Structure 1
Amino acid sequence: MFVFVSNLLDQIILLSMRRNCSAQVFGRTAVLILARGGSKGVRLKNLQTVGGLSLISRAIKTSKEAGLHDVTVSTDHPLIALEALKTGTAIFRRSHITAVDWAPSIWGAAEFISRRPEVTVLVLIQATSPFLKPKRLEDAVRKLNLPIAYDCVFSALRSYKLRWHQHGNTFSPINFDIHARPRRQDWNGNLIETGAFYISRRHLIENGLFQNNNCTIEEVFGAESLEVDTYYDLQVANALLRSNLADVLGN
């Protein structure tokens, strides 16, 4: 079965190359969507649909609407490759070692750029953020060089939640003083990575990093921060879309 699946994936990639050899745009800034087939929480998570469109297709659509046309889906599964093929997107054969449960995303990113020596900036997009706005992604790419040059830009959500750290059976505050609890209007909150995207210069990825101390963030809001990791998240995403709340909550 493994050999059959592997051969099928190779055939789909070959077909993709034949179809896209004249249409695919290759450049110094490339989008990579990592989409392995072995997701545990939700089976074939990247093929699950929100509003009738698969998560992987949504990520591709968002990238292209943001003006990023050098888009590649890196996968180890033929069904995901077929979904990418339907959109005319390039397919990269993800190696087994970068697609196992415990493999960090940076391995998949490094594997990809090792085959693309012309790429100087990698835009890693997570297909599990279905409500990411193209304009947000476009602004983030622009922010990499303006007003000053950064090495990375990533998506973050501002949170005003008060956080605690557990030490055995005791607890201590992390981001506030218990003698002067802040009101929401009195502080800027904390920034939490959403994982929707990481825009990194090549030298970072070659050193095994997406970020360093020369980074900035692109702030996302509301539904844009939703990450589909469980069937519950999937139901929430579809409910937001059906009720037309996704755009309202994303502003």
Structure 2
Amino acid sequence: MDKFPRILGLIPARGGSKGIPGKNIKMLAGRSLIQYTIESALESLLLNTIIVSSDNEEILDHVRQFQHVKIPFIRPAELALDQTPSIAVAQHAVAYYEDIGEIFDYVCLLQPTTPVRGKGLIDKTIQEIIRSKADSLVTIKKIPEKYNPYWAFICNENRFLDPAIDQTVLTPRRQDLPGAYYRDGKIYITKTDLIKRGVLLGGNIAGFINEDEPDINIDSYADWEKAEKWAANAAPV
């Protein structure tokens, strides 16, 4: 039997947030925003190591209360800018561990801005990427039919409409629409070899359909208010 892959759980949490200052440690229904993601990660039986990557000492001091969550480094300031992509943060973490002789087969990226993950979701996605032999995986939800890209248009330079997807005839009937999905941001899992090449989602990409959970992704105060409404009425997930 093959050895089970080693998986790094990576929680990125930079200090500078313009949309909601200090959001990663802002309290949401009695818990910090990042605590929701940390607790989900700690429930996993398949993550070998869980780390928080941050440039901010206040965030790191807050994280130190959680046993079994590691803070192996302070993220360099140049990797904590508004325009810093997630892949650069993942590459930095992988390089750090390789430098000290620890090798991981996959990176599981868990963003604090998507705090709601049902019990067992992380391990289900890990099992799925291994079962499917995909190179990367992302949790997804179905796009409502009226927003399906096969019914979407873009405005051209003449201000006329062109189909958003290159096709000679628009899909005329709802029944003929192909299924279309969007990333819900909760979980990304990627082979380390892809991460090292600068790819977060690539190769054969598996989608894990995740329709049974609230779609909360916090980037603005309107998103935060939506999360507060969820938290005020939520049953345990």
The TM-score normalised by the length of structure 1 is 0.79
Count residues in correspondence. 218
Q: Partner residue of 2:138?
A: 154
Q: Partner residue of 2:220?
A: 230
Structure 1 residue 60 and structure 2 residue 12: aligned? no
Q: Partner residue of 1:119?
A: 104
Letter paired with 1:75 = S
Q: Partner residue of 1:16?
A: none
Can you list the C-alpha shifts for 1:87-125, whole angstroms capped at 9, x where unaligned?
Answer: 122113111111011111111110011011211211011
Identify which of 141, 147, 164 aligns with 2:153: 164
1:170 CA drift (Å): 2.2
Q: Partner residue of 2:87?
A: 106
1:172 CA drift (Å): 2.9
- The unaligned stretches of length 5 or more in structure 1 are 1-26
Q: Partner residue of 2:70?
A: 90
Higher relative contact order (CA 8 A, sep 6+): 2
1:70 CA drift (Å): 1.5
SS at match of 2:137: strand
SS at match of 1:225: coil
Structure 1 residue 200 and structure 2 residue 181: aligned? no
Q: Take 1:209 and 1:164, find their aligned partners in 2: how far apart are those partners?
A: 29
Question: For the Cα contact (< 8 Å) 1:76–1:94, is it kept in 2?
Answer: yes
What is the percent sequence identity of the aligned residues?
24
1:187 CA drift (Å): 4.2
SS at match of 1:205: helix
1:174 CA drift (Å): 3.1
Change (3 A) 1:202 1:178: closer
Identify which of 136, 139, 147 aligns with 2:121: 136
Change (3 A) 1:245 1:165: farther
Question: For the Cα contact (< 8 Å) 2:118–2:213, is it kept in 1?
Answer: no
More helix by share: 1
1:188 CA drift (Å): 5.0
Q: Take 2:180 and 2:96, find their aligned partners in 1: how far apart are those partners?
A: 37
1:62 CA drift (Å): 0.6
Q: Partner residue of 2:229?
A: 239
Q: Take 2:138 and 2:192, find their aligned partners in 1: how far apart are those partners?
A: 15
Comparing 217-226 with 205-214, greater Cα deviation is found at 217-226
Q: Take 1:102 and 1:182, find their aligned partners in 2: how far apart are those partners?
A: 38
CA RMSD after TM alignment:
2.2
Can you list the C-alpha shifts for 1:201-245, whole angstroms capped at 9, x where unaligned?
Answer: 110000000121311011122644320011111111111121237
Question: For the Cα contact (< 8 Å) 2:106–2:191, is it kept in 1?
Answer: yes
Letter paired with 1:131 = V
Change (3 A) 1:134 1:245: closer
Q: Take 1:234 and 1:137, find their aligned partners in 2: how far apart are those partners?
A: 23
SS at match of 1:87: coil
Question: For the Cα contact (< 8 Å) 2:20–2:220, is it kept in 1?
Answer: yes
Question: For the Cα contact (< 8 Å) 1:223–1:246, is it kept in 2?
Answer: no
Q: Take 2:215 and 2:136, find their aligned partners in 1: how far apart are those partners?
A: 19
Change (3 A) 1:166 1:223: farther
Comparing 114-123 with 238-247, greater Cα deviation is found at 238-247
1:69 CA drift (Å): 5.4
SS at match of 1:115: helix
